Chains A and B, each alone.
Chain A
Amino acid sequence: MKPLLVFAGLWLCGFAVDFSFDAFIQLILIYIMINMMLAMSLNLVNGYTGQFSLGHAGFMAVGAYTSGFLSTMLPPMAGGLQIFSYFFYAISGGLAAALAGWLVGLPSLRLKGDYLAIVTLGFGEIIRVILLNTQAVGGARGMYGILGPTDWDLGGFVVSKFVIGYTHALFWVVLCFLTIWRLIRSSHGRAFLSVREDEVAAEAMGVNTTQAKVRAFVLSSFFAGVAGSIFAHYANYLNPGSFAFMRSIDAVIMVVLGGMGSLSGSLLAAVFITVLPEALRPLKDLTGVDLRMVIYSLSLILLMILRPKGLFGSNEITDFIRRKSSAQKVKA
């Protein structure tokens, strides 16, 4: 019941955004939502299951390209029906990415720590290189002409393309959040956490750690693929360069910044990471020098040294509210 209310509430906000803000802000909002999904899904693997994956961009790429490619093959839908087509593309992208996740995960997840990081990095790059050399999806030139949402004319009222796209993206963000949130509070989530805490002890207590790791990985890849699909239909153009190592690093930064094991932290971090380059743009225009990445990387170093737990550590924002209210009770 509660999630439906949250969804409805946020959905209505979409209309307000559509009304009040220009296309640029609207696009930022969509990108925030894409980053939210990337951060949450990576958090499942890195934060909750304790596996260090550095190749998230690869799965996003698989989802994006699958989704984009399908949409160039199939006839575009219009009006109210288009949202179903976007769901279809998103699910296809997600499933393709999940398959990639399974293929990458199976051999890699036996490895520990640093090694796993390097292998996933390698796979992420290999996926990119394969896409770069596959002419059917545009190769180095990229894939053009991927359709995005269009306005829906209802006669007197026009549902803007933003609202359509926003609704679609919102659905997935809420679903991603809900899935991970509830899964963590179940036996499966406990399995993930036990793998993070102590694999040997987890195995001794009957947890199939390999299965847990693969499951986390595949589920995470699915949502990364969906995020990629949404990205494809907004960017309308795909290029393997968009899914390079930096993209995976962005995802890792979001997870660490928000707190490994904190979904609400990931959401906040996604907002921050998406908005920061734009917020720093005036600085670039002012000084003529693009210091954004320099500041970005410096902040990363400082964050790790000074506040490695990130914003929320492994807590959720609800934990802080609860603590505050119980502290107030004690005072009274």
Chain B
Amino acid sequence: MKLLEAQNITMQFGGLKAVDQLSFHIQQGELMGLIGPNGAGKTTVFNMLTGVYRPTLGEVVFDGKTITGLKPYQISRLGVTRTFQNIRLFKDLSVLQNVLVASNQHLSYGMAAPVLKTKGFLSQEKEAQEKALQLLSIFGLEKKAQDEASSLPYGEQRKLEIIRALATEPKLICLDEPAAGMNHQETHHLMETIAKIRKDFKLTVLLIEHDMKLVMGICERIVVLDHGCKIEEGTPRQVQSSAKVIEAYLGTDAELQGGSV
């Protein structure tokens, strides 16, 4: 079944159309890639799906519910989570606190409970902490739980962003260039991690990436964007051999040979 559907979404900033009448859908359980040259509008699409921007036109439907115009925190609570292109961790908070923030939405005590240290508060906190530590240990970060998030090396910070997103207990996770700044080894490890979390957490994954090895390696279906429009959609093989895609990334034959268009 279609977990997420973008229906003719358009994003207009003043005179600039960053995304133009884009339609696509993601099936539940799918691992989909969103690629395109720089400036194609990929992160803008993420922002539209997660409520950071309200689409100028069109609708976004998630799990049967129209989520266009909802606030980001509301969309998060419905099961859509994301990571950021430029890591946005809570720098001065500890690794554990970063994860715990994301699990806030599953805690139900009011403001008086922590002050009075009620049983409900204590048990919910304990559970939340255990879950968070468990998540951290899956990725090997449990020893660094009390460290400041900004003290982690880059690769682990990227991991933490993913862990944090997982703590919201999402149905759909949108990863924005998770392999940015990684070498081959790290990228390979990331591919395994993404595959693993999809399986273990029963997730649907939408991925923006520039690293073609990663994209072609794990994505089941790919949507290609250029200048805000969808120019191709299909399996990795179909996309790789599509003339339109090649032209978008590399330019036409004439351009390649240095001639005028």
Using a CB–CB distance below 8 Å, which chain A residues touch chain B? 178-179, 182-183, 185-191, 193-194, 197-198, 200-209, 215, 219, 314
Contacts and interface: CB of A to CB of B under 8 A. Distances in A.
B125 interface: yes
B117 interface: yes
Given A190-B104, A193-B90, A193-B97, A204 B114 contact: no
24 contacts: A186-B121, A186-B125, A187-B100, A187-B109, A187-B114, A193-B93, A193-B101, A194-B101, A197-B90, A197-B92, A200-B52, A200-B88, A201-B90, A203-B71, A204-B82, A204-B88, A205-B104, A205-B105, A206-B104, A206-B168, A207-B101, A207-B104, A208-B71, A215-B111
Contacts of A188: 111, 114
A189 B71 CA distance: 21
B76 A205 contact: yes
B73 A179 contact: no
A214 B170 CA distance: 27
B102 interface: yes
B92 A314 contact: yes
B91 A197 contact: yes
B81 A205 contact: yes
B89 interface: yes
A204 B72 CA distance: 5
B221 interface: no
Nearest to A198: B88
A183 B114 contact: yes
Interface in B83-125: 84, 88-93, 97, 100-102, 104-105, 107, 109, 111, 113-115, 117, 121, 125
A205 to B, nearest CB: 4
B184 interface: no
B115 A206 contact: no
Given A183-B111, A197-B93, A190 B101 contact: yes
Nearest to B111: A188
B104 A187 contact: yes
A194 B107 CA distance: 16
A201 B168 contact: no
Contacts, number: 99
B77 interface: yes
A190 B99 CA distance: 10
A230 B11 CA distance: 54
Contacts of A198: 88-91
B73 A208 contact: yes
A205 B111 contact: no
A206 B109 CA distance: 16
By Cβ-Cβ distance, the 4 closest A-B pairs, closest first, are: A186-B114, A197-B90, A206-B76, A206-B105
A188 B109 CA distance: 9
B164 interface: yes
B115 A179 contact: yes
Contacts of A185: 114
Nearest to A261: B92
Contacts of B10: none
Contacts of A186: 109, 113-114, 121, 125
Contacts of B165: 205
B185 to A, nearest CB: 28
Given A204-B81, A205-B104, A205-B164, 10 more contacts: A187-B114, A190-B100, A194-B101, A197-B93, A198-B88, A202-B101, A204-B73, A204-B84, A206-B76, A207-B105
A206 B128 CA distance: 15
Given A190-B100, A190-B104, A206 B125 contact: no
Given A190-B101, A194-B93, A215-B111, A207 B73 contact: yes
A200 B84 CA distance: 10
B50 interface: yes
A203 B84 contact: no
Contacts of A205: 73, 76, 81, 101-102, 104-105, 164-165, 167-168
Given A186-B121, A188-B111, A215-B111, A206 B92 contact: no
Contact of B97 (A190, A207, A215): A190
B76 A182 contact: no
Nearest to A179: B115
A198 B165 CA distance: 15
A194 B164 CA distance: 12
Interface string B177-218: 000000000000000000000000000000000000000000
A206 B80 CA distance: 9
A201 B111 contact: no
A191 B71 CA distance: 16
Interface in B17-34: none
A193 B149 CA distance: 13
Given A204-B72, A204-B82, A187 B107 contact: yes
A201 B93 contact: no
* Chain B CB within 10 A, most for which of A185, A188, A206: A206
B44 to A, nearest CB: 14
Nearest to B102: A205
B84 A201 contact: yes
Contacts of A194: 90, 93, 101
A177 to B, nearest CB: 11
B101 A191 contact: yes
Contacts of A189: 114
Contact of B114 (A182, A209, A215): A182
A314 B93 CA distance: 11
Contacts of A207: 73, 101, 104-105
